[in-house]
Structure 1
Amino acid sequence: MDSFSLSTFILCYALLPFLSFSQTSPPFSQSIFPPFNASHSYYNDNSDTFLVSTNGTYKASLTKPYSTFSAFYLCIIHKASNTIIWSANRNMPISVTSSLLFTINGLSIIDDSNKVVWSTPLLNSPVAALQLLETGNLILVDAENVSLWQSFDYPTDTLVIGQRLYVGKSLVSAVSESNSSEGGYTLAVTSEDMVMQWKGQTYAKLSMDTEAYKNSNSPVSYMEMNSTSLHLVGGDGVQVVVQVLLVPSDTKIAKLGNEGVFRINNMDVNNMVADFAMPVDTCQVPFTCGKMGLCTNQTCICPSGFSHKELNNNGCVTKQVLEETISLPSACTARGNVSEFNSSTFYVEMQNGIDYFVNHFTEPVKYGVHLSLCQNLCSQNCSCPGIFHKNSSGSCYLLDYNLGSFVLNSDAQGGPLGYIKAFLNVSTEHKKHSFPMSALVVIIMLSGLFMIITMVVLVIIWLRKKRPTGVNLDRWDSSSSAELEMISIPGLPRRFNNEELVAATENFKSQIGSGGFGTVYKGTILDNTVVAVKKITSLGDRGKMEFCAETATIGSIHHVNLVKLRGFCIHRRQCFLVYEYMNRGSLEKILFGNDPVLEWPKRYEIALGMARGLAYLHSGCEPKIIHCDIKPENILLHDDLQVKIADFGLAKLLYDEKSKLLTTLRGTRGYLAPEWLTSCGITDRTDVYSYGMVLLELVRGSRNCLFQSSGNENGEGNGPSFSSTNSELQVIYFPPIALEMHKLKRYMELADPRLEGHVRSEEVEKLVKVALCCVHVVPTLRPSMSNVVAMLEGRLPVGEPRIEALEFLQLYGGKLNEASRKLRGRDSVVEEEVRSLMAEELTYL
């Protein structure tokens, strides 16, 4: 029997059980195979289940969980407790005649009009099977049983044992017990803690719970629950940072309820019993008593001077509002704060002992200020409904427009006092009768004259300003500092003034780096924190509001593998970004410089940290962020070589059009994906290519492109070496060498020779294979960064590089040598000229 027939026989024999099983009627046990199409009405005997786990613990169903509504959902259900642990279309229910479609392209839900309501994302390989694991995880696998998608990566409001909630992921509560759509409460994992929030405002942290034990200050990577505890795990996957001990049980279900309480229940015989709740006191939940309601001893009342707004106790308002003598702030309009700058604004003082949840989880916006200044800050902000002010320290807290409930707390005596902003309502009838008619005539005449003068002035200004369009630098000069202070954008970090940064950097004395986005200086701010100050060199056609909006996006991103933005500064036409300082410098300095050789375990940690940071940017942020400039210079390291990615978000911050970005980023040659030089669109897979190139350099310990003269015998080095003007310049291009060694399975020959064999062979092979998969010439063949993380962590098998998609590397290597030979005999040659020729040759590929 020839080899082809033998392999075909083995494959058929292996698939025989699955092929025969797929012909049975639903529900299927553990797996179903494409094509598969069904609706709720498809099933017999009123059964809505189409898939069950191996031991029958979980089932996948098209079900109607609420008897009062004809709304159907694709759900995974814990059978014994009838608890929904995951729903695909929680925000878009379907009718009884809608259908579930499973093909080799993935899973989708189709409504009555043949419109896709929900579907799995674009996958890297054709799907071979849909499986429901005994853990409750619904997964799609390819023909090699490699996971392509899993429901555990898309949590709703529930966690089960073994399911990890990574940094950047969150649970979102339902609207109510009869509406599974996303509500106002979230539970998120950050690099420091697990936090619970209501409309973006924190009201509980796991580390502050009375049952929690904090074991370490290490950065958090994910939260997980097992049979005995709930814990936050550090980036190494071993260190438990925070832990809550639970009653031992093999079945636990954790859920963020629609009322804002996170509960963990155990299975006891056939019932679920409570094990842990956070927060225990429901008065600490922000909206327990509605807007401005007062919660005391689990009872809702209105604060003194306030009355119920509606009969259903949906919050409180001041009695004057009911009497229509005053009004409370409404939502911001396009005109901003105009309506709030008037003499009718005043503040209603709340009774002593009233506390608010935000005061325990946020810092005051100002310290050491008088009550009147605190109130002025609120008056200038249309989204501010009130303040809390502490006389003893002058601390000023501004409340968010999404105002929740207050709590009556005897311990709050001596704490900050609350004030609610309000406006006087002046009677229109009173205005009409009290205003003299003669004065009205004079005002009308003066108003007409003023309008004529104004129109003339505006026409003159328009004629003077009529000129060719370009970068509007006046946008940066015409706005005063006071106007910038009024900019209120959620997530906007601290604003430094120019004097602070000049003092911190000793007038920008110590330069520690530079690049396409700007120059970086080391500084020390007033609290003795060392920072890195980046002076932005080009802002394109940006105004202050646009700059602040993009800065807010960057500032709101927090991940253990991303450099934290501490603040910003706008001074005239110059902008600065203030980052946390990374004292070990860049990977470029440590890997290619004169530092001691970077040991292999640290290199692997760096590879994993880089992947986690990029995965968060691509799939953990909303909106998604494409870095566009991944290179060793933008990989920074801290004391223990903890890796953090720098300059993320700057591509979008500084440039609006892709054409501008392309021109600028050609300066970082060697890491740009081929699609930069074609008409193809830039996607997150562009970052994947750059990551793969950096990964190869991490394995080899040197640049992918080495320049040396023919007289340089050692064959190593990190830059050009020219022994004589008549030497022939040689280019050593590492990626095609890695490809050749992969074909020969000789991975150890690719490792940094300075390590003298002190490497883990299986990890070298893994990094090389992952790197080659990342640099496939076709973007869709590259893995996502989430899958790269899973491969490096061992949760997914390592992909096999496709040789035909990597042959361009050998072609490119040949072009580089051809380009280098053009410089033979030139005594004034420099590396930049070589790189320029490299870029020219790449455009022909």
Structure 2
Amino acid sequence: MGSLLFFFLSISLSCAFVYCLSSSEFIYPNYSASHFRFIDSSGSFLFSRNGTFKAALFNPRGQQTKFYLCVIHVASNTIVWSANRDEPISSSGQMNLTFRGIYITDEDGSFKWSTPQLRSPAAALRLTEMGNLVLLDQFNGTLWESFQHPTDTIVIGQYLPVETALFSAVSDYDLSTGDYKLAITASDAILQWRGLTYWKLSMDTKAYTNSNHAVEYMAINQTGLFLFGRNGSVVIIQMNLPQSDFRIAKLDVSGQFIVRGAAQTREFGGPADECRIPFICRKIGLCSDDATSGSPVCSCPSNFHLASQNTGDCVPADASYSLPVSCNTTYSSSQINSSSPVSYLRLNYGIDYFANYFTSPVKYGVDLSACQDLCSEDCSCLGIFYGNSSGSCYVVEYEFGSIISRTTSHNDWLGFVKTLVGAATRSFDDDNDIGGPTVQFPLIALVLLPCTGLILLLALGFLLWKRSRVSKTLMIKLGSLTCPSSGELDAFSIPGLPKRFEFEELEAATDNFQTKIGSGGFGTVYKGRLPDETLVAVKRITNLGVHGKRDFCNEIAIIGNIHHVNLVKLKGFCAQGRQWLLVYEYMNRGSLDCTLFGGGPVLEWKERVEIALGTARGLAYLHTGCERKIIHCDVKPENILLHANSPAKISDFGLSKLLSPEQSSLFTTMRGTRGYLAPEWLTSSAISDKTDVYSFGMVLLELVSGRKNCSIRTQSRSTSDDNSGGGHSSSSSGQGLVYFPLFALEMHERGSYLDLADLRLEGRVSSEEVEKLVRVALCCVHEEPSLRPNMVSVVGMLEGEIPLSRPRVESLNFLRFYGRRFAEASMIGEASAQNDVMLYPQANASRTKTKSGSNTYFSYISSQQISGPR
């Protein structure tokens, strides 16, 4: 009897010991856990000190196929962080803590997720009372923490820094990264769906903007939701909420950004109008508010019906119409019946679309037919919204979201869905939404196929094998680029990309390359006329080396896969022997530098603003509208082309860089053109889309003044005033070289904006108009990239949709160094001061000493070094 009592007591103590281990706030290396290893049925193995949070290998909603390492708020059973959200494991998978960090493997031992390489061995893993999972070293120093790697939620005590984001989960039981994103920018918190903005925190009626300082991070605390700047000392935007000791902010699977307090009480949701959530009613679903409940009600618009109950998407009710697949999706070209006639199904008046409030029309002042033609010619366009009163043409690209029923607003807007007439019937798969075309074989084929099938299959197999040998060497796609030798390109045609011309065709089109219209970027550009009388610009590549072949492929891959009204269109290419040519649409007014700095008619102010807007829209599209972010790297007047009957367009993508949405890469070679290069090129800083913003700001200043930023200064109104009275500007004293960006900064500080305008515009531009462009330009050329606005914000400021930002003078003081050094070079008469020397300050941490021991803030760099190989 005593032995039996001792046995049960031992078992009880063992269970208590296991439970205590699972309840600890620390675990140590050589520790493994799985879902079924602990008494706690939820798979919990770590608790915070007071039990507020727990860490567990958890299966959301009780499903038995997807298990995740999660941090969970115990009282509400809410997941606030997950490690392997895109790599779930089975119920037998394991979490392992070693001296190298956390490793998650599945039951077969396959690797799923781990913490990054640590700077020193891990000594413990701790779950804090705030819900932060922290790896500690032997001195209790932090090696890694979950707060620095948020998923879809932040809690009190956690910061979401600028240029980081939350991503929604796919569903409540599938924590994989979804399509909704909450991004923190230098000025706001924004919600996006597949790169398209649909809500901003600053727009909410509960939000108050307190400062124009740059945002550094978002946080929640006991009193509300805040965007902070200046190391947390300044509140940029605040949203006051009821006092609460517990609060989480989550990007929900629905696409709403929701703040909840104690007992899961919902305190805030954005957007408040759920019909503005892009996919609330699936594809082309019509969202309207229920008058009694206020909840969104989904239906299909007239002429449409549900494809199936499983997908919830709406498709044309008439089976003779089908929806096209965007050419920029992952579907193959065989799924796009491009030969079918295009038609449009009308959505009637009172229809709204979420993206129309955050994107610009691709065209203003056009009729409905012209708007439809723009969409018909663009394989990525799936529909249009047209403003009758303004003639504004908005396009829907890549993916069609839900539409909104609005009987009281925007009654002059008409929506149209692009369809293919008589296209092959498409089958809809529950998972993929769109399947390939269903092909119907005629009866005779079924009779003959047994007799001839083997021969046909052998022949087809041989052709496919022969083509695959070539196609494997040329993998040109957006984001993955490999170039072959010129011989391999001779017999190759790139499916889905621009036309491949024979050299003889282009030789005849250009009259043996007689009319030269420009040069640069590895070659010379000639005017040509195709047999159908279409005018083209033919770029003939010369001095082609390894980098040239790569950039040739870049031009084809990048320009051939994107379509925007403010980006030059690549019509074709030629790769035949040693002949490498690119064929572009012809822009009959040439480049901006010829028009702006040449001796022709002066550009009027309105046209300068339109050029600035067109360029900004094109760059904004490159940065945010493409599947992968594209950085141009060489924005300058020579690469902005003009046409008498179309908006300004950006050209020359030979120096472009592709970045994934999360990537911030360092380029190993300097690219671009002197005078437009951002300071970070020379300071080993990360190169990002903000380098294009800097270059655009420099171009904008040249649009204002009508002269190069580094140029001979003619006497201005301010000079006359200064010489007749008091002192003079450091940048404008005397006749000779002037660094105009510094002059612009000084006139901005004095409020003398008209002194910056092109003298040829005397009396035809107001101070307010000049101020707008100058302030935008100065914001773009901030030395600190994070303080520069993104191009979407630049477009908004130029259009007047968002308030003008205030330039930060402390981040523009580097212009004083540039200007002073430029003036010194002019005074000492360096023979090539303008052409061969460019002046940049070194990073503060790397100031160099001259032989005399004095500090110098500048490097002298040749134009070849700065421009890179051309």
Normalising by structure 1, report the TM-score.
Answer: 0.56
Query: What is the aligned counterpart of 2:854 among 708, 713, 716?
Result: 716
Query: What is the aligned counterpart of 1:175 among 170, 175, 190?
Result: 170
1-side partners of 2:313 and 2:271: how far apart? 21
Partner of 1:642: 811
1:694 aligns with 2:801: no
* Aligned partners of 1:563 and 1:644 also within 8 Å: no
Structure 1 residues 368-391: Cα deviation after superposition (integer angstroms, max 9, x where no partner):
122222112111111111111112
Aligned partner letter, 2:68: Y
Q: Measure how far apart 1:234 and its partner are.
A: 2.4
1-side partners of 2:597 and 2:90: how far apart? 67
Partner of 1:363: 360
Query: What is the aligned counterpart of 1:209 among 199, 204, 211?
Result: 204
* Aligned partners of 2:340 and 2:422 also within 8 Å: no
Query: What is the aligned counterpart of 1:164 among 159, 166, 185?
Result: 159
- The residue correspondences of 1:305-704 to structure 2 (distance < 5 A) are 305-312=303-310, 314-320=312-318, 323=319, 325-332=320-327, 344-425=341-422, 473=523, 480=536, 487=559, 494-495=566-567, 501-502=592-593, 506-507=597-598, 526=610, 535=636, 547=654, 550=657, 563=690, 565-566=692-693, 639-642=808-811, 694-697=843-846, 703-704=847-848
* Aligned partners of 2:283 and 2:402 also within 8 Å: yes
Query: What is the aligned counterpart of 2:138 among 130, 135, 143?
Result: 143
Partner of 1:572: none
Structure 1 residues 536-555: Cα deviation after superposition (integer angstroms, max 9, x where no partner):
999xxxx9796486378799
2-side partners of 1:213 and 1:383: how far apart? 38
Q: 3-state DSSP class of the match of 2:312?
A: coil
Q: Measure how far apart 1:281 and its partner are.
A: 2.0
Structure 1 residues 552-608: Cα deviation after superposition (integer angstroms, max 9, x where no partner):
879998999974635999xxxxxx9958899999xxx9xxxxx99xxxxxxxxxxxx
* Aligned partners of 1:492 and 1:548 also within 8 Å: no
2-side partners of 1:359 and 1:254: how far apart? 27
Partner of 1:294: 286
2-side partners of 1:134 and 1:508: how far apart? 70
Structure 2 segments unaligned to the other structure (5+ residues): 1-16, 290-295, 426-438, 443-490, 493-499, 509-520, 529-534, 540-554, 569-586, 601-606, 617-632, 640-649, 666-685, 710-729, 732-738, 740-744, 747-781, 791-805, 816-835, 866-870
* Aligned partners of 2:849 and 2:855 also within 8 Å: no
Q: 3-state DSSP class of the match of 1:131?
A: strand
1-side partners of 2:313 and 2:32: how far apart? 48
* Aligned partners of 1:493 and 1:552 also within 8 Å: no
Q: Measure how far apart 1:411 and its partner are.
A: 2.6
Aligned partner letter, 2:107: D
Q: Measure how far apart 1:166 and its partner are.
A: 1.3
Query: What is the aligned counterpart of 2:182 among 187, 190, 205?
Result: 187
* Aligned partners of 2:347 and 2:415 also within 8 Å: yes
Call closer, same or farther: CA 1:427–1:578 in 2, change over 3 Å: same
Instruction: Give the aligned length.
Output: 562
Q: 3-state DSSP class of the match of 1:230?
A: strand
2-side partners of 1:59 and 1:249: how far apart? 21
* Aligned partners of 1:162 and 1:225 also within 8 Å: yes
Q: 3-state DSSP class of the match of 2:850?
A: strand
Q: Measure how far apart 1:253 and its partner are.
A: 1.5
Aligned partner letter, 1:284: R
Q: Measure how far apart 1:237 and its partner are.
A: 2.6
Structure 1 residues 210-240: Cα deviation after superposition (integer angstroms, max 9, x where no partner):
2111222322221111111101122443221
Call closer, same or farther: CA 1:461–1:261 in 2, change over 3 Å: same
* Aligned partners of 1:386 and 1:421 also within 8 Å: yes
1-side partners of 2:860 and 2:304: how far apart? 75
2-side partners of 1:280 and 1:254: how far apart? 15
Structure 1 segments unaligned to the other structure (5+ residues): 1-21, 433-453, 466-470, 510-522, 570-575, 590-594, 597-608, 618-636, 647-666, 672-690, 698-702, 709-714, 721-829, 837-845
Q: Measure how far apart 1:413 and its partner are.
A: 4.1
Structure 1 residues 406-431: Cα deviation after superposition (integer angstroms, max 9, x where no partner):
1111233433211111222179999x
Aligned partner letter, 1:287: F
Query: What is the aligned counterpart of 2:62 among 59, 62, 67?
Result: 67
Q: Measure how far apart 1:120 and its partner are.
A: 0.8
Q: Measure how far apart 1:82 and its partner are.
A: 0.9
Call closer, same or farther: CA 1:378–1:77 in 2, change over 3 Å: same
Q: Measure how far apart 1:129 and its partner are.
A: 2.1
1:279 aligns with 2:271: yes
Q: 3-state DSSP class of the match of 2:70?
A: strand
Call closer, same or farther: CA 1:555–1:641 in 2, change over 3 Å: farther
- CA RMSD in angstroms comes to 5.5
Q: Measure how far apart 1:480 and its partner are.
A: 3.9
* Aligned partners of 1:187 and 1:196 also within 8 Å: yes
Q: Measure how far apart 1:312 and its partner are.
A: 4.4
Could you tell me the percent identity over the aligned residues?
35
* Aligned partners of 2:247 and 2:260 also within 8 Å: yes
Aligned partner letter, 1:58: F
Partner of 2:642: none
1-side partners of 2:138 and 2:526: how far apart? 58
Structure 1 residues 29-76: Cα deviation after superposition (integer angstroms, max 9, x where no partner):
332222322323332454622222122211111222232323221110
* Aligned partners of 1:491 and 1:552 also within 8 Å: no
Q: Measure how far apart 1:80 and its partner are.
A: 0.9
Call closer, same or farther: CA 1:475–1:550 in 2, change over 3 Å: farther
Partner of 2:575: none
2-side partners of 1:554 and 1:261: how far apart? 21
Partner of 2:625: none
2-side partners of 1:188 and 1:832: how far apart? 37
2-side partners of 1:225 and 1:283: how far apart? 26
Aligned partner letter, 1:274: R
Q: 3-state DSSP class of the match of 2:120?
A: coil
Partner of 1:241: 236
Aligned partner letter, 1:318: P
Aligned partner letter, 2:406: N
Call closer, same or farther: CA 1:508–1:157 in 2, change over 3 Å: farther
1:706 aligns with 2:850: yes
Q: Greater shift after overlay, 341-350 or 415-424?
A: 341-350
2-side partners of 1:49 and 1:102: how far apart? 15
* Aligned partners of 1:385 and 1:421 also within 8 Å: yes
Structure 1 residues 694-738: Cα deviation after superposition (integer angstroms, max 9, x where no partner):
3434xxxxx324223xxxxxx424399xxxxxxxxxxxxxxxxxx
1-side partners of 2:403 and 2:564: how far apart? 26
Partner of 2:36: 41
Structure 1 residues 640-672: Cα deviation after superposition (integer angstroms, max 9, x where no partner):
2237999xxxxxxxxxxxxxxxxxxxx999x9x
Call closer, same or farther: CA 1:113–1:474 in 2, change over 3 Å: farther
2-side partners of 1:528 and 1:536: how far apart? 11
Call closer, same or farther: CA 1:330–1:168 in 2, change over 3 Å: same
Call closer, same or farther: CA 1:477–1:120 in 2, change over 3 Å: farther
Q: Measure how far apart 1:112 and its partner are.
A: 2.2
Q: 3-state DSSP class of the match of 1:404?
A: coil
2-side partners of 1:56 and 1:225: how far apart? 21
1:230 aligns with 2:321: no
Q: 3-state DSSP class of the match of 2:51?
A: coil
Query: What is the aligned counterpart of 1:91 among 86, 92, 107?
Result: 86
1-side partners of 2:814 and 2:305: how far apart? 52
* Aligned partners of 2:169 and 2:178 also within 8 Å: yes
